Amino acid sequence: MRIGELAEKTGVSVRALRYYEEQQLLPALRSESGQRHYPDSAVERVNLIQQLYAAGLASKAILELLPCVDAGVSTPESMARLVAERDRINLQIDGLIAARDRLDAVIAAASDSASSCSSARVDAQRRTARCSSARVDAQRRTARS
């Protein structure tokens, strides 16, 4: 497929896809006239790249770790980087949970203080499904000490 279609399927911009190629994260075949062509598997790869970007990894880190994800093999260096990035993400999750709990506390306090107001609606929004757990993370981290 061509770049526009890939952009549409993945939800990322054409510019971003060209940027990924520039960063050597997303190789592209070229037609005679120079247009990029991607296999279907590129969709999955772009999603993975996006996921890692969203997790705070830099291009350089992704570039180093993509072969591990692809082939399941790793050098000692990339293994160290994998573990380092995972640990960083765990710390980031802890920070986010702490911040969220802080906001939750403020929300709860404000809801209580304004309980006379006709606002029982916040609780409805709060029920949006999610699945994050500080407890499991702490358990996981202490398990490998």
Partner DNA sequence: CTAAAACCTGACGTTGACGTCAGAGGCAAG
Partner DNA sequence: CTTGCCTCTGACGTCAACGTCAGGTTTTAG
User: 44-76 burial, b for 16+ CB within 10 Å, e for fewer?
Assistant: ebbebbeebbeeebebebbebbbeeeeeeebee
28 neighbors 36 (Cβ within 8 angstroms):
yes
Q: How far is CA 70 from CA 17, 37, 39, 44, in A?
A: 19, 20, 15, 11
Q: How far is the CB of 141 from DNA (least distance, A)?
A: 25
User: 5-23 burial, b for 16+ CB within 10 Å, e for fewer?
Assistant: ebbeebebeeebbeebeee
44 touches its own copies (CB under 8 A): no
**One-letter amino acid identity for 70?**
D
24 binds, among DNA, its own copies, none (CB under 5 to 8 A by kind): none
| Interface pick for its own copies out of 1, 23, 59, 137 (rule CB under 8 A) | 137
11 touches its own copies (CB under 8 A): no
Give the integer Cα–Cα distance in Å for 78 and 69: 11
100 binds, among DNA, its own copies, none (CB under 5 to 8 A by kind): its own copies
Q: How far is the CB of 47 from DNA (least distance, A)?
A: 12
Binding-site ranges for DNA (CB under 7 A): 2-5, 7, 12-16, 18-19, 23, 28, 31-36, 50, 53, 57-59
68 neighbors 74 (Cβ within 8 angstroms):
yes
Name the residue nearer to DNA (CB basis): 14 or 48. 14
Q: How far is the CB of 6 from DNA (least distance, A)?
A: 8
Interface residues toward its own copies, by CB under 8 A: 48, 51-52, 54-57, 65, 68-69, 72-74, 79, 82-83, 85-87, 89-100, 102-104, 106-110, 113-114, 122-123, 125-137, 139-141, 143-145
